[in-house]
Structure 1
Amino acid sequence: MAQKIRKPNRLPDYDYSQNGAYFVTICIKDREPILSRISVGANCVRLTDFGKVVDDEIKKMNTVYECVFVDNYVIMPNHIHLLIRIENDGRRPQVAPTVSRIIKQFKGSVTKQIGMSVWQKGFYDHVVRDGYDYQIRWQYIDDNPPKWAEDELYIK
């Protein structure tokens, strides 16, 4: 069987290290629900041991990259959503990393701690265009747990 050709999802000629906000979704390989447990309709996310590792790494992201901030996130059973902001004011000695570099480092650190790769190849990102778009992404993250049964990545 021929291998599926992946469509590039990055904007051509866009600098993914420039200041701004980025909405990122990272999925677990084969959509295995290994990161958290959610009671359908509830707004309570109970992290598994793997989910706790992911949570710790998300919280450390600003210590790895001084100009990177995670403004909001949610750890779902088989994927995570992050609202990442790059804010390089030129006073920090560190050059801003690209979104791809941030996610590669994050996935690698989690993989090393867990002892195996749990991630699907790649990730989805969306360049946040303005304040309205930012609020929509923020709300989507907040609304994800109570709407888990309606999510396209939901698996019983």
Structure 2
Amino acid sequence: MPEKFQNKYRIPSARLQNWDYGANGAYFITICTKEMKHFFGEIGNEKMNLNAVGALAEEYWVEIIKHFPYVELGNFQIMPNHMHGILIINKSGEFVETQLIESLQPHQEIGGFAGENNPMLSENISRIIRWYKGRCTFEMRKINESFEWHSRFHDHIIRNSDSFERIQNYIEENPSKWEDDKFFKK
């Protein structure tokens, strides 16, 4: 029987156990809308035609690098009911300086049930996606108040250059192969 948290059943994590999702590397991310609803626009002539909500999904994905300076973006694609993107974590250079400055700040108690394990205190994929989904949701609901993301996201650690190239191509070609996509739903 699955374990419970706060008296609710928990679904086991799909994340790779013992992997630091804040480690330098490339990550293939897929985020779906709730119930695979078409919130972002439609495919026509093998091209994604973004609506206003889809344009926000694209805008805030590009904005990730402004909020997380240790992140670079690979290819990304907004689809009718999901989005794919590659996030590249590279924590060299200014990151060390940021840590030093933060260490000079007065110590504050960390609240909440998670304490120091709060994912919003870590520089990792979960924090980036949580920011992205939250920012998008806030703005998208001004246009479509029923907008919702699926509660989770898919990730894949890209381990070599062949895999990176294959995934980059998959993302780029996704609109032209929409009807064969595993996320396809009319």
TM-score normalized by structure 1?
Answer: 0.90
Closer, same or farther: CA 103–94 of 1 in aligned 2, 3 Å: farther
- Render the CA deviation track for 1:117-150: whole Å, top value 9, x for unaligned: 5100110000010111111110110121100011
Kept after mapping to 2: 8 A contact 1:66/1:94: no
* Cα deviation, residue 114, structure 1: 1.6
Give the corresponding residue for 1:134: 164
- Secondary structure (helix, strand or coil) at the match of 2:175 reads coil
* Cα deviation, residue 44, structure 1: 1.5
Distance 1:65 1:26 in 2: 18
- Render the CA deviation track for 1:56-101: whole Å, top value 9, x for unaligned: 1011110000011111100000000011101111423446711011
Return 5+ residue gaps in structure 1 as ranges.
none
Aligned identity (percent) is 30
Return 5+ residue gaps in structure 2 as ranges.
1-7, 100-121
Distance 1:97 1:87 in 2: 11
Distance 1:94 1:32 in 2: 40
Distance 1:17 1:138 in 2: 21
- Secondary structure (helix, strand or coil) at the match of 1:153 reads coil
Aligned length: 152
74, 82, 85: which one pairs with 2:77?
74
Does residue 32 (structure 1) correspond to residue 37 (structure 2)? The answer is yes
RMSD: 1.8
